[in-house]
Structure 1
């Protein structure tokens, strides 16, 4: 019988999600500070995330639209 690794997989997914969010928020701040236009395309390219993922994050999406 195989070991149940689902807890480890869930933890890994949560950590990856939080790391991605932190990287994206850092990118938002850097683009804004530099005076670079903050667009979904620019954030996605710089943070190396997909634009579709950005649209699924309500707080990040709101901040991009605000800037």
Structure 2
């Protein structure tokens, strides 16, 4: 099982990276949520952590919206 982090902006969804462990993915997710560039950019709407499944579907584990 892998975990994927994606950002959402006005143009769509951008895959940031894949992680083998949930702990690594959560750390990267927290880092992106606190990143000053993402917070001030204005075009990035949010970031999400998704658990990838074998059937090709994913389940959202966490979501953070930038104001």
- TM-score category of the 2 structures, normalised to the smaller one: 0.3 to 0.5
User: Which structure: greater strand fraction?
Assistant: 2
Higher Cα radius of gyration? 1
